[in-house]
A and B are shown apart, each in its own frame.
Chain A
Amino acid sequence: MIGTSARRVGGVERVTGRQRFTGDVRLAGMLHVKLVTLDCARARIAAVDTGAASGVPGVRAILTAADLPRPIPRYGPTYRDRPVLAVGETKFHGEPVAAVVAETEEAAEEAAGLVRVACEELPAVLTVASALDPSAPLVQDPELRPDDLLGRTNIRREWHFGWGDVAAAGADCVVDEVYTFPMVTHFAIEPHAFIAAPDRDGLIIWSSIQHPYLLQAAIAEVVGLPLSKVRVFAPDPGGAFGGKQHAKFEPLLAFLALRTGRPVRLALTLEETFQAVRRSAFEIRVRSGFRSDGTIAFHDTECNALMGAYADIAPRVIAKSGYLICGPYRVPDARIVVRALLSHTTPATAFRGFGTPQVAWAIESQMDEAARRLGVDRLEIRLKNLARRGDEVVPGDRPADGDWAEAVSRAAAAIGWGSPLALGRGRGIAVAIKASATTGASYAIVRLHHDGSVTVMAGTSDMGQGARTVLAQVAGQELGVPLERIAIVMGDTGSVPFDLQTSASRSTVFMGTAVLNACREVRRQLAEIARELFGLAEGEVVVEPGIVRAPGLELRYEELLAQAWGPVRGELIGTGVRRGEHVPAHPLGGPPAFYEFNCTAVELEVDRETGEMLVLRHVSVADVGRALNPAHVEVQDEGAAVMGLGHTLMEHLLLDEHGRIRNLGALDYRIPTTKDLPLELRSLLVENGDGPGPYGAKGAGEGGLLAVAPAVASAVAEATGAVIRDLPLTPERVWQAVEALGRGGRPDPPAA
């Protein structure tokens, strides 16, 4: 069972269209919501006139900030900084000023178009440079940040990490460069959908959310209800990638449901999701010192990360990625300055990789630059500096916990590193580590029914990574039950116990362990029943998966339960917990439970005349400890690799001078299609059973995208001589870089 590629639990529903996503939920008497937004990022709201809009037939309510309690309820996972509706001023393009509730979507949309907002556009902070400019307007009111020394700046938070003494560190070669990573959006194929409904003296929320329990807490707080009166249903999300971790418009819907007394529904358009979630943009300056043999002497880094108007979880993303910016290497001295900057843009949130793609882009590109300057092979420089098992990557923190060099060697072999290259081609290789979840709690309940079948209740969200399948496999393995006889109940805070979150590739490790512990608890109970029933002593009963054994006795679980309970029947309930406690002294609140390591290698061809690239081969090697379901792990990794190609080659949100997204929508925001795949895409797994999860598993599913950009850029540099430090590597950008080089000394363009 474990280690087999069991079919996806829920696969049949998905392939037949029967899977119910949040947007498919239909409730009696359900009303529809449309948001009223302005045509620019930042504007002072003078007046909101709902007169004409209320006249539209079918309109039931129009909510403006004036209808909400004062001070306006605010929410957010890091700071309570996001108002339920804009008050006084909008802070990003797409921030709602009002919400219309109507009997039909059409009526809501029509009325939303008739709400007149008298407003005055104000200058907006849209870039890192302007966010750092002391004369720029403040994005957040300093009164929201009392006692904050930075309260009168757009720096929401600044961290100083590092070790050793960079100033004193000597080096034979110093590389000092700036790298940029633009805003990109998640583009889950399921746009966010939300429903809120009054429920006696409480509320029920449906949301395609990754963290139902944090949503429950957020709602309870804004409307002033106890947790027990807020029930969140979280149907499996249709892709999330971090963009569905935290509350977005659910608090607004909660107020609308309370106000109308009816269920209210909001399904975002794809365009609205672009205005709702994105990844933090980074500008990273790195000054790195190397010895002449390629050994790293120091990294001196300054990361300016552009968040949006409200913090969401971005400060955590920024801190966590900055903390590990030096990557999977032994770095004797490091100085790391990290800033989380506010701007008048879509609030940035978690995005698969949690900041690591941004920092790996900078550091791995530095490794290449050093290799080129020192005449050291790019693979060699990595192997030379890579931390071996037990080596510290951040002094005092969790040491390297995998055979990373093995993964690198496998990637190199798979890409044919060092073998001759055709003209116009190049190879690149890059590595990255991501800190997994640090703290957090997962609870699971495993119910063994009297017929021997099993129900697992786990608060994880299955958003495509296959959590249902893996948790069923764990329970099946432990209790000797085939998957067809296991039900997984998720996505209901009213019946399923607490889980902090589904993120950071943590579920297999955290929830998997909780389920494992719950199963073992069930087995302990079975042993006790057998001992009591047959008058046996401790040690005489052995409970194996599916079978209870004692001298002269061999019973299936259901047989034992039938004998013990007779016609009254019953069930065994095992609970399991996995907690990672908060460590106040640790800069991240606790050491990571494991590192997710990836090595990506590519070979590609560049058309020097047009800048177009064709990835011929793409290899991703992930150290997963143990793949509980190899097919699932591989497909996750392949998906991550292709998503990585997206942000590497084509994805970026472009803003105009009003702070509006110029490529708002699928037409001009490009993600990879089937025709943009590498000709060959391979995902290889390193399995040494050395993870903290069940059976030695580590988390997986983010690795494949961490190191794509630097690997591709490295290959482009080899193919053309052009080094590019800004993403994405669009054909135009590559062309410009090649043009800038001039033709001097470079090989002629390959024949077309």
Chain B
Amino acid sequence: MHGFAFVAPTAQAEVTGLLEEHGSEARLLAGGTDLVVGLRTGAIRPRVVVDLKRVAELRPGLSDAGGRLAISATTPLSRVVRDGRVRQWFPALAEAAATVGSIQIRNRATLAGNICNASPAADTVPALLVYGAEVVIAGRAGERRLPLDRFLLGPRRTALGRDELVTSIELARPGAGTFAAFGRLTRRRGVDLATISVCCSVDAAGVTRFAFGAVAPTPFLVADESGVLADPDADPETKDRVLAELTGLARPISDVRGSREYRQAMLMVVSRRLLRSVVDGRGKG
């Protein structure tokens, strides 16, 4: 690995100060499961690596207030997966987070890191999109919030400014009667990056939302407001037509994980299956 300086500030202001000073020469380190790989391969060559794990304001944890759950930027995914509130209120997020890497990876990897890394295949992003997650951002000028879909600009590109970092991710507790599930396809059953990933939710009003991962420059959200998809009695062919329209918005590429055609076809298959399980769950719930 090439040389760089390592700093572990204890206050958030130091972090933003360092970012201000070094700009793109500085890299933030949360769990390091993307960053350290990049450092090793030389894909990134920062002058300064700033560890976030000792920053007092960013202490790991999940807190809820007023029906919103805030997940701090240093919370490892293993903790997110275990958290009772996440499992109860945001089960599709728990499922998605549980698919990330191995237990060793999840003991380090963070939710904030997953979104800031801005990979088209980031597994938690479809779930966060479906749940309408908000990204809490801090900079020298103070705090701002962005919905996740406006935070992600493209592969490896986010809306963060030079001096900004993500401090937490917030989720509003879904209304009663919302059901959601996450699914993905991989080349092997064990630890793998997604060939495609899908999160699906149906709310009490009968609006069905899908977020698709690994089939476009960033995971993206679509919705069926007509209620057709959520209707257990709707004719399967009509449903398929609606689904095909939604999945048709994907722009998958061919790579070592799968061809464009396969991804496109699987998006439909996985979406159809997820929808069925969500609608079934709703019927029972």
Contact = CB atoms under 8 A, between A and B. Distances in A.
A and B, direct touch (CB closer than 8 Å): yes
B189 A668 contact: no
Interface string B190-234: 111100000000000000000000000000000000000000000
Given A735-B265, A752-B276, A673 B188 contact: yes
Nearest 8 Cβ contacts at the A-B interface = A673-B190, A675-B190, A675-B189, A732-B262, A609-B269, A752-B273, A668-B256, A663-B256
A650 interface: yes
B141 interface: no
Interface of A: 106, 110, 113, 609-610, 612, 649-650, 654, 662-663, 667-668, 670, 672-676, 730-732, 735-736, 739, 752
Interface in B227-285: 256-259, 262, 265-266, 269-270, 273, 276
A113 B259 CA distance: 34
A752 B187 CA distance: 19
Given A654-B256, A730-B187, 20 more contacts: A113-B42, A609-B269, A610-B185, A610-B270, A649-B188, A662-B256, A667-B193, A668-B256, A670-B187, A670-B188, A672-B188, A672-B190, A673-B188, A673-B191, A675-B189, A676-B188, A731-B185, A731-B187, A732-B258, A735-B266
A675 B98 CA distance: 14
A724 to B, nearest CB: 15
A567 to B, nearest CB: 59
A654 B187 CA distance: 15
B1 interface: yes
Contacts of A110: 2
A611 to B, nearest CB: 8
A676 B190 contact: yes
A128 to B, nearest CB: 21
Given A731-B185, A735-B265, A752-B276, A668 B191 contact: no
A610 B269 contact: yes
9 contacts: A106-B1, A110-B2, A650-B187, A668-B256, A668-B257, A673-B188, A675-B188, A675-B190, A735-B266
B190 A732 contact: no
Contacts of B190: 672-676
A41 B270 CA distance: 39
Contacts, number: 48
A413 to B, nearest CB: 28
A648 to B, nearest CB: 12
B276 to A, nearest CB: 7
Contacts of B185: 610, 612, 731
Contacts of A739: 265
Nearest to B40: A269
Most A Cβ at <10 Å: residue of B191, B262, B270, B273:
B262
Given A735-B265, A752-B273, A752-B276, A676 B189 contact: yes
A649 B185 CA distance: 15
A650 B188 contact: yes
A610 to B, nearest CB: 6
Contacts of B188: 649-650, 670, 672-673, 675-676
Contacts of A672: 188, 190
Most B Cβ at <10 Å: residue of A110, A612, A662:
A612
A732 B269 contact: no
Most A Cβ at <10 Å: residue of B1, B188, B258, B269:
B188
A739 B266 CA distance: 12
A672 B191 CA distance: 10
A343 B259 CA distance: 27
Contacts of A654: 256
Nearest to A614: B189
Contacts of A609: 269
Nearest to B268: A609
A675 B190 CA distance: 5
Interface string B26-45: 00000000000000001000
Contacts of B2: 110
A752 B276 CA distance: 10
B189 A673 contact: yes
Interface in B7-33: none
Nearest to B42: A113
Contacts of A667: 193
B153 to A, nearest CB: 24
Contacts of A663: 256
A670 B273 contact: no
A751 to B, nearest CB: 10
A203 B1 CA distance: 31
A57 to B, nearest CB: 12
A113 B269 CA distance: 46
Contacts of A731: 185, 187
Most A Cβ at <10 Å: residue of B1, B192, B256:
B256
Contacts of B257: 668
Nearest to A732: B262
A386 to B, nearest CB: 34
Contacts of A730: 187
A280 B157 CA distance: 41
A651 B2 CA distance: 32
Contacts of B273: 752
Contacts of A612: 185
Interface in B38-78: 42
Nearest to A735: B262
A34 to B, nearest CB: 13
Nearest to B269: A609
Nearest to A749: B269
A736 B257 CA distance: 15
A25 to B, nearest CB: 23
A712 to B, nearest CB: 14
Nearest to B266: A610
A739 B192 CA distance: 25
A205 to B, nearest CB: 28
A676 B193 CA distance: 15
A732 B189 CA distance: 14
Contacts of B1: 106
Contacts of B189: 673, 675-676
Contacts of A752: 273, 276
Contacts of B191: 673, 675
Nearest to A609: B269
Nearest to B270: A610
A743 B224 CA distance: 30
Nearest to B102: A673
Nearest to A105: B1
A610 B256 CA distance: 17
A499 to B, nearest CB: 37
Contact of A732 (B192, B193, B259, B276): B259
A110 B256 CA distance: 30
A653 to B, nearest CB: 10
Nearest to A649: B188
A610 B195 CA distance: 12
A676 B188 CA distance: 7
A476 B188 CA distance: 44
A541 B90 CA distance: 82
A667 B192 CA distance: 8
Nearest to A752: B273
A667 B255 CA distance: 13
B123 to A, nearest CB: 15
B207 to A, nearest CB: 24
A740 to B, nearest CB: 12
A731 B1 CA distance: 37
Contacts of B270: 610
